Structure 1
C-alpha cells in the first residue's frame, strides 16, 4: 500500500448520473463493487485486477427498480451474486446479479425512510432501522416481518441496527434528551409474539450529535463505534454475561472523521497482530488507521485469529432464492491470506432464443462453471442459423433494390436531359 497525494487525473469509476450514496465490495469477488446513487439505479462494476488505468464508465450491469434514490447496497454474506438495495421509496429489492433480475421486492414493510439494513450471519434474515424508530427483523424470502421493536431509541435522530453472530441485534441511536445510546437486543420469533423484548443492555454515551456507525468483527465479537464528526473510535466486546457490552478502549486522533471504511479480516497483517484496519475519510484524504495487539511472540496468535469467512460463496444465488441457507465458509489466516485469481463477473440475461419453460429459473451464474446453454443447445443453434440465413437474404434483397434504384435514377437523368 502506497501513501501520498493522488494525482488529480487519477482514473475513477464514473457511470452514475447522480451522486453515489453507498458502495459495497463483493465478499466473494475482490474485483467487484456495487454502488447505489441518487439517479435511482444500482450499478455493479468489475475493477481490473491491477487497478484502474483509465476511468471506468461502463458497469457490468445496471439494476433498475427503485423510484427514488438508492442509499443502501449490501451483498449477501454467503450466497453468490445476491445483492440487496434499499431506497428512499422505502422499498428493499433483492437482486440476482447473475441474471440482472429483481426477484424480491419488499415495498410495503416500511412507512418511513430506512436508515440501514443488515444481513444475519447466514443471510436468512435481515434487520432494518427506520425513521419511524422501529427495528424490524424480516424474512425476505417469505416476505414477512418476524419481529419488531417500537421506539428502540426514542430520539428523533438516525439510528443503526446490525445482526451479531449469535443472532442478537446491536443498535445505536439517541435518547429523548438527545444523548447517544447503544443497546443490545435479544429476540426470539414465535408464532404468537412478534414484538421484541426490552433491551438486555442499554448504555448512554455522551451528548455529541454525530450518528454512531457500528462496525462488527464476528470472529472476536468486538464492535467498533465511529461517530460522524468524532475524532475517536470506541470499541466494545460483546459477551453472554452481564453487562453484555464491555467497554475496551478508545482510539483518539486530532481530526474529525467524515466517514469510515472497514477492511475485511482476511486483508489484515497477521504477522503484526493487526486486529482491525479502518480507512478514515477526511476532507481531502483517506487515512488508514491500524489497530494492533502488542504481543512479544512472533508465533501465530490463534486467539486473535480464529478461522474467518473466506472468499468462497457457500451457495449459488438460485439455491438461496429456492430456500437454502448456509453459514460462511471459513479459512485459516495462519499463513496469511493469499488471494486467488478472480474470474470476470458475467451477467447472463434471458436468451430470447431459449424456449425452456418459464418455470425453470436455472441460469448461468457469475463465476460458476460455464454451462453455456446458448452454445451447447442444438435447438438454439438451428434457430440461430435460420435467423442468420434470413438476415443474409434480406441484405441481398436490399442490395439488389439499391442497384435497381440507381439504374432507374440514371435513366431518369437521361430523359430529363
Structure 2
C-alpha cells in the first residue's frame, strides 16, 4: 500500500476461530423477547441463556463441558412471573447468578453442586427446576439490566424502566444507593475500581455517577441517532467508549473522558458502517482490545485502544448472524494455545457457537507479554466496606502463568500506572516488539478509523523545539529571547567544534547539518572511518535507537547518527538524520581513555579505494573507530552542559530585565506626579 504504514502491534494478526461442530450447543431455545440485552452470559464454568418458555419467565444454565444437542426437556431456573430480560454471573462465586425480569423483580440464584444440564432429574426421571435463593423487590417497573460490582463482594447494580439504577447488597437484600435518571437506562458499566458508574439513557445523555454520593460527576449529549446506545468503561483508565448511531443512521464509536464528558468525544466519532444492528461492546482490560459485536449480522470487529485512539486490528466474519454474545472472564482462556478471549455467540436462536480469539505464535513457552495479570475472582472488599466508603484501585489480580504450569496462583493488588486525571491521556506511542526476535521494521502508526486522521506523536525536532521554548517565561519576549538564544548557541558551537577535529570528522557524516558545517571549512576535515566500512554496501534505514552498550560488548553507539556501530554495514554517502542535542544521562561519565588520532603520516597509513587518507593511530583500526565515537560523545556531553549554563543565564537575564523595567516604570510615575504638582 503506497503511502501507508503498518502499525507494529503484537495483536495485529489476532484471529477468531469457531469451535468444531461437535463442540457447539444445539437444540437451544433462545427467547424471542425483543428487549435489548446480550441474551447469554458466561463465566469459567457455565453459560446462561434467556430461555423461550411458557408459564412465566425462565433461563437455562449450561455447563461448558456439556456440549452437543440438548434434550427436549431440560431443568430451568424458574421463579419469575414474566420473561427474564438479563442475567449476570457473580464474579466472585461461579455458582451464583442474578437475573432481572419483566415482572420488576431481581432473582438471586445458586447453581446446585450436582447440577447437570442433561441429567438433573427427580425420582420420576423428570427434569428438576431450580427456584431462586432470594428475590429483591424495589423497582416499580421491569428490570432490564443487572450487573455485578467488579471489586466488592455481593454488590449488584440493576436498571429499570422506572428510570432508576439501584445498588443492592444481595446478602442482606438491602438497597444501598439509588441513581435517578430522567429516562430509561439502556446500558451501564462500572469503573475499574468500582467507585463510579457510567450510564447511557434513552434521552441520549451519557452520565458518569459517583455511586456512593448518588450524584452526577459529568454529563453530556452522546450519539444523535434514535436507536439504543451502549457504553463500556475502558479498563484501568478514565476513558469510556460508546456505540450508537448518527442522525443518518451510521454506526458510530465514541471515546470519552469519563470525568470531563462536557468537552466532547475525544477526536471525533469513528464511523463503522451503515448497518442497522446495535453494536455490543466488550473490552478486554488486560490486552486493551475492544470487541464490537453487531446484532443481526455475523461480524465481530476488534480494535486496540491506545493513547485515546482506537486502531482497527481485524474482523471476524461469519454468514451466521448473532442476537446474543457472551465473553468469558480472563481466567477461562487456554494459555497454552495463545488464546486471549473465549466467547460464545448465538446462531439462528437455536445454537450457540464457541469462538476463540488467538494470537498466532509458534513458541511453546508461556507468552507473558500477552498475558498480564488479570482479575482473580477473589473480592477485594466486602459489601459493607465498600458501602461505608472504603476503596481500592481495582480488583485483585493473579498471574496467568499459574494456568500454564498448574501452580498456585499469586494474588496481587491493582495499581494505577498514572494519576486518575491523566490516565489514558498520554500521547506517547507504545512500541511493541515480537518475542520471536528483535524489532526489524520501523515503528509507525497506521491511520485511525476517522477519515480525517489524527495527530501522531511529535517528532524529535518538535520535542527539541518545545523544550527550548519552555525557557521563555513571557510570551511577549519569546522572539527576542529565541534570537539571543540562537546567537549564543552558535557562538558556543563554533568554539567547541574548532577545538576538536574528531567531532568535525564525526559531523561530516551527517549530510543535513548545514548550520554547524559553516563553523569550519569542510575541505580541511579528515575522515576517520575504517576502510572496511567504506567498502560495505548501503543498508536500509532503521529506527533511531539511543542505547548505551556495555563495556563487555566492545560497541559504542553515537547519539548523533542512527545506529552506527562497528559490526553494522554503513556508508559515508548514506543520508543521516538531523542531529539533536542528546540527554547527558545517556553517556557514561567514567568512560575509558580514548586514543586520539594524529595528523602525522607513517608507514601504517593506508589508502581507501576512493583515495581518502586514513589517519594513523597507535591502536587497531576497529578500536580507533570505537574510541573516536566515545570521545565525540564526551565532547557533545560537555557541550550540552555548557548550553544548559547559557540557558540558565538567559533566564536570569530575563528576570533582571523585568526588575529594571519595573524600576523604570516607578521612576516615570514619580516624574509625572512631580510634573503635575508643578
Normalising by structure 2, report the TM-score.
0.48
* Aligned equivalent of 2:159: 86
Measure the CA separation in 2 of the matches of 1:263 and 1:136: 27
* Pick aligned residue for 1:3 from 67, 79, 102: 67
After superposition, give the CA deviation of every residue in 1:351-379 in whole Å (9 maximum; x if it has no partner): xxxxxxxxxxxxxxxxxxxxxxxxxxxxx
After superposition, give the CA deviation of every residue in 1:33-68 in whole Å (9 maximum; x if it has no partner): 100000110011111234342434321110000111
Normalising by structure 1, report the TM-score.
0.77
Is contact 2:184-2:201 (8 Å) kept?
yes
After superposition, give the CA deviation of every residue in 1:169-200 in whole Å (9 maximum; x if it has no partner): 101000110000001112435xxxx7343433
RMSD (Å) for aligned C-alpha atoms: 1.7
Secondary structure of the structure 1 residue equivalent to 2:384: helix
1:295 deviation in Å? 1.1
Is 1:155 equivalent to 2:228 in the alignment?
no
Is contact 2:209-2:216 (8 Å) kept?
yes
Is 1:132 equivalent to 2:203 in the alignment?
yes
* Pick aligned residue for 2:137 from 61, 64, 72: 64
Which protein has the bigger strand share? 1
1:339 deviation in Å? 12
* Aligned equivalent of 1:174: 245
Secondary structure of the structure 2 residue equivalent to 1:336: helix
After superposition, give the CA deviation of every residue in 1:82-122 in whole Å (9 maximum; x if it has no partner): 00101111111111111111121223xx2112101100001
Number of equivalences? 331
* Pick aligned residue for 1:98 from 166, 171, 178: 171
Is 1:26 equivalent to 2:90 in the alignment?
yes
Measure the CA separation in 2 of the matches of 1:84 and 1:56: 26
Larger radius of gyration: 2
* Pick aligned residue for 2:327 from 262, 285, 288: 262
Which protein has the bigger helix share? 2
Measure the CA separation in 2 of the matches of 1:251 and 1:59: 38
Distance change in 2, residues 1:266/1:44 (3 Å):
same
Measure the CA separation in 1 of the matches of 2:345 and 2:274: 22
Distance change in 2, residues 1:210/1:339 (3 Å):
farther
Is contact 1:148-1:196 (8 Å) kept?
no
Measure the CA separation in 1 of the matches of 2:239 and 2:359: 27
Measure the CA separation in 1 of the matches of 2:183 and 2:352: 33
1:3 deviation in Å? 2.6
* Aligned equivalent of 1:245: 310
Measure the CA separation in 2 of the matches of 1:127 and 1:333: 29
Is contact 2:324-2:345 (8 Å) kept?
yes
1:262 deviation in Å? 0.7
Provide structure 2 residue ranges, at least 5 long, that are not aligned to the other structure: 1-64, 122-127, 409-678
* Pick aligned residue for 2:274 from 183, 207, 220: 207
Is contact 1:186-1:200 (8 Å) kept?
no
